């Protein structure tokens, strides 16, 4: 089978939304009946995103098969409504460690092992293998970083080689750059783009399309200038201006002929699928335009960067949209929380988190939500600390805590997963990815999922200590979901409250626009009442 490749590079600076543009281009192809997927290349030296602080790098997105990935993988899943395996997030560390290990095993038969061809071959093989294994019509590969960076060079070189191997009708390069506007002169400036394309050419790549990130739509004269200086056809200079929502980007690109141009370059016939387009438009339109608002407070310690919780934020929006509500989400720092201000919210959500800092504020919040009967959803850390709060205030377990927060607590109601006792490595060692969860009949959770079994993604090292199960049950907490033949508690609920539910798993990773996740939907629903 022949696959087509689209390579997305970035110019001028990072943070242009290349991930969204990559996902949007893939979406356009999917809407034209192509079997498409995306790959994210991260040229950093971390093996994966798992060890990175979300405040500097955004959320760690967990794939079904347990990968701790760059948050762009989440964008791909949400745009394409498709699970993306961990192999689609390639890093420098993965490539080098594989090549070095192969060398140690003597697999290179005495050769001198070098960046070209050994590193570049490994990169190319991984990309081709994904396209083959998944029988893709088109694979869209986003190369992280900015052209000119030292660390992305071997990757960009590999992409160049793929083009040299297959030719211009099989491989396209799309370069995403910034077109700044200077207010004072009221002009869109093209010089940074010109320089960035020169950098690309220096390493042997002529882009086929330029997508300019800008505040306002690119003017015709700006497009002309870019076309002239970069050797790109005028119709392939595309404006990606600020939009109401990221889900409007496919439309913005499509209206400028991006799909048509890609098919033309690929020598393929475009099969515009009206039904798929209508479905997509109705999803996108549902995401805004409702005037009744539901106000949610989200409390955590990584609030200085919204991207730290990007999947939760999206999931809340998907649910609100499906319930014809607008949503406002206030991110509140758990370290400096003014608890009484929470009275102004319709619902309180505690997302995942790690470590001691800010944990007191979270425990207080969970108790406040319970006491004041404000709908509460605790995810992972938010589940664990709701159990701590309930233990402290309603089970007379003084000093109840998680051993993650206080190793010597008298009542370790949340404790290390037993299999973690001998684990000393931090990277990739949490309980990760999808696991089956059994749901008890006649519980609120059962009503929400309408099923006695669900499969959900995980990322944790601590869990509920079942030695305390009886005390909690006696005091009214219901353990409505469990996994691993009853060894682990996955869900708690308290039926006397409007909505007081905690889940050890991460429902946010399964929510897609138009297809909200059940428990998050139920939480928003309860917050509307």
- Under rule CB under 6 A, residue 440 binds ligand GLN: no
- Under rule CB under 6 A, residue 433 binds ligand GLN: no
The site string for ligand GLN over 340-359 (x = CB under 6 A, - otherwise) reads ------------xxx-----
- Under rule CB under 6 A, residue 301 binds ligand GLN: no
Burial of residue 192 (CB within 10 Å: 0-12, 13-18, 19+) is middle
Q: Please, which residue, 41 or 380, has the CB nearer to ligand GLN?
A: 380
CA atoms within 13 A on the CB side of 508: 28
Stretch that binds ligand GLN, among 239-247, 340-348, 378-386, 445-453 (CB under 6 A): 378-386
CB 171 to ligand GLN: min, Å: 39
DSSP state of 309: G
Question: Can you list the positions of beta strands (E) in 63-122?
Answer: 68-69, 89-91
Q: Pick the catalytic residue from 88, 506, 517, 525.
A: 506
- Under rule CB under 6 A, residue 299 binds ligand GLN: no
Interatomic CA distance for residues 14 and 101, integer angstroms: 32
- Under rule CB under 6 A, residue 415 binds ligand GLN: no
Q: Pick the catalytic residue from 142, 508, 517, 525.
A: 508
Q: Is 506 a catalytic residue?
A: yes
Quick one: which of 302, 449, 462, 500 contacts ligand GLN (CB under 6 A)?
462
Subset of 381-410 contacting ligand GLN (CB under 6 A) = 381, 384, 404
Q: Residues near 357 by Cβ (< 8 Å), separated by ≥ 6?
A: 301, 335
Quick one: which of 459, 488, 512, 525 contacts ligand GLN (CB under 6 A)?
459
CB 48 to ligand GLN: min, Å: 15
Q: Pick the catalytic residue from 380, 395, 458, 517.
A: 380
Q: Is 393 a catalytic residue?
A: no
- Under rule CB under 6 A, residue 376 binds ligand GLN: no
Q: Which residue has the tokens 């809407």?
A: 31
The site string for ligand GLN over 500-519 (x = CB under 6 A, - otherwise) reads --------------------
Q: Please, which residue, 148 or 353, has the CB nearer to ligand GLN?
A: 353
CB 505 to ligand GLN: min, Å: 10
Sheet holding 347-350, edge to edge: 326-333, 293-300, 347-350, 376-379, 500-503, 488-493, 478-483, 431-439, 453-460
- Under rule CB under 6 A, residue 300 binds ligand GLN: no
- Under rule CB under 6 A, residue 66 binds ligand GLN: no
Beta bridge partners of 266: none
CA atoms within 13 A on the CB side of 101: 7
- Under rule CB under 6 A, residue 525 binds ligand GLN: no
Q: Please, which residue, 236 or 463, has the CB nearer to ligand GLN?
A: 463
Q: Please, which residue, 380 or 400, has the CB nearer to ligand GLN?
A: 380
**Residue 406: strand, helix, or coil:** coil
Q: Residues near 325 by Cβ (< 8 Å), separated by ≥ 6?
A: 290, 292, 293, 294, 524, 528
- Under rule CB under 6 A, residue 50 binds ligand GLN: no
Torsion of CA 27, 32, 34, 35, to 10 degrees: 50
Q: Residues near 92 by Cβ (< 8 Å), separated by ≥ 6?
A: 42, 43, 44, 45, 151, 154, 155
CB 417 to ligand GLN: min, Å: 8
Interatomic CA distance for residues 99 and 108, integer angstroms: 9
- Under rule CB under 6 A, residue 460 binds ligand GLN: yes
Other CB atoms within 10 A of residue 80 CB: 19
Interatomic CA distance for residues 307 and 55, integer angstroms: 8
Q: Please, which residue, 280 or 462, has the CB nearer to ligand GLN?
A: 462
Active site residues: 380, 506, 508
Per CB under 6 A, residues contacting ligand GLN are: 352-354, 380-381, 384, 404, 459-462
């Amino acid at each position: 089978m022949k696959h087509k490749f689209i390579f997305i590079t970035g110019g001028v600076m990072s943070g242009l939304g290349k991930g969204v543009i990559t996902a949007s281009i893939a979406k356009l192809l999917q809407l034209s009946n192509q079997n498409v997927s995306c790959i994210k290349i991260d040229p950093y030296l971390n093996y994966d995103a798992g060890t990175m602080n979300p405040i500097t790098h955004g959320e760690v997105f967990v794939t079904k098969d347990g990968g701790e990935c760059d948050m762009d993988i989440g964008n791909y899943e949400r745009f394409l409504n498709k699970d993306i395996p961990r192999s689609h997030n390639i890093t420098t560390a993965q490539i080098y460690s594989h090549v070095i290990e192969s060398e140690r095993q003597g697999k290179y038969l005495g050769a001198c092992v070098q960046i070209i061809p050994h590193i570049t071959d490994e990169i190319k093989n991984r990309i081709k293998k994904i396209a083959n294994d998944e029988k893709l019509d088109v694979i869209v590969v986003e190369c992280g970083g900015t052209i000119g960076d030292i660390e992305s060079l071997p990757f960009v070189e590999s992409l160049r080689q793929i083009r040299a191997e297959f030719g211009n009708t099989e491989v396209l390069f799309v370069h995403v750059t910034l077109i700044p506007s200077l207010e004072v002169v009221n002009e869109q400036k093209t010089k940074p783009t010109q320089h960035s394309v020169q950098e690309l050419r220096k390493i042997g790549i002529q882009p086929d399309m330029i997508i300019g990130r800008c505040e306002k739509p690119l003017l015709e004269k700006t497009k002309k200038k870019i076309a002239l200086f970069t050797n790109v056809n005028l119709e392939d200079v595309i404006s990606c201006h600020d939009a109401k929502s990221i889900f409007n980007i496919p439309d913005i690109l499509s209206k400028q002929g991006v799909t048509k141009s890609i098919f033309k370059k690929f020598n393929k016939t475009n099969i515009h699928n009206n039904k798929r387009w209508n479905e997509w438009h109705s999803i996108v339109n549902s995401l805004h335009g409702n005037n009744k608002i539901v106000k949610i407070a989200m409390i955590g310690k990584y609030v200085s960067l919204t991207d730290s919780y990007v999947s939760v934020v999206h999931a809340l929006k998907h649910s609100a949209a499906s319930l014809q509500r607008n949503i406002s989400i206030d991110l509140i720092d758990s370290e400096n929380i003014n608890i009484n201000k929470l009275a102004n919210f319709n619902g309180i959500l505690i997302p995942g988190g790690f470590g001691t800092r800010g944990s007191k504020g979270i425990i207080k919040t969970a108790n406040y939500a319970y006491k004041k009967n404000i709908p509460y959803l605790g995810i992972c850390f938010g589940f664990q600390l709701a159990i701590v709060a309930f233990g402290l205030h309603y089970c007379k377990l003084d000093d109840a805590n998680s051993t993650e927060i206080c190793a010597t607590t008298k009542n370790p109601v949340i404790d290390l997963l037993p299999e973690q006792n001998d684990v000393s490595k931090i990277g990739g060692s949490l309980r990760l990815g999808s696991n089956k969860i059994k749901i008890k009949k006649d519980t609120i959770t059962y009503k929400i999922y309408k099923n006695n079994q669900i499969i959900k993604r995980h990322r944790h090292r601590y869990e509920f200590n079942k030695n305390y199960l009886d005390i909690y049950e006696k005091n009214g907490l219901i353990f409505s979901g469990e996994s691993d033949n009853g060894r682990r508690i996955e869900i708690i609920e308290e039926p006397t409250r409007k909505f007081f539910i905690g889940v050890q798993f991460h429902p946010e990773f399964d929510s897609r626009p138009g297809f909200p996740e059940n428990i998050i939907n139920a939480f928003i629903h309860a917050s509307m009442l």
